[in-house]
Amino acid sequence: MSEVLVRSFGTAVRRLREARGWSQEQLAEHADLNRSYVGEIERGRAIASLVTIDKLSQAFGVRSATLLGHCDELSDANALKGSRLAAIAC
């Protein structure tokens, strides 16, 4: 489950970044993060700390709860998708 959460958070970050028309480099500048670290977060290969979540939220101009809410929505959607696939396989 934690892997799904990390990937969902990365997807949420990527979607918000793309919605603003920003490159990873631009997001990194706005959030005072390294560009390669942003890429690792988006790919679900790095686990963002609370400080990083706060920096990303401020860069996007949203509350941390809003950013994490996007992540929860994606996690729920992935869990539902997985249960549908399991039902089909049975």
Report pLDDT digits (tens) over 17-56. 999 999 999 999 999 999 999 999 999 999 999 999 999 9
User: If DSSP codes are grouped into helix, strand and coil, which group holds residue 13?
Assistant: helix
pTM of the model: 0.80
pLDDT exceeds 90 at position 71 = no
DSSP 3-state percent helix, strand, coil across the chain (nearest 5): 80, 0, 20
Q: Report the pLDDT value the prediction gives residue 76, as an integer from 0 to 100.
A: 62
Mean pLDDT score, 53-64: 97
Query: How crowded is residue 80: how many other Cβ atoms within 10 Å of its Cβ?
Result: 10
* Band of pLDDT at residue 89, cut at 50, 70 and 90: very low
pLDDT exceeds 50 at position 88 = no
> What is the average pLDDT value for the chain, to the nearest integer?
85
Q: Report the pLDDT value the prediction gives residue 9, as an integer from 0 to 100.
A: 94
**Domain covering 2-89 in this structure, CATH number:** 1.10.260.40
Domain ranges of the chain: 2-89
Q: Report the pLDDT value the prediction gives residue 5, as an integer from 0 to 100.
A: 86
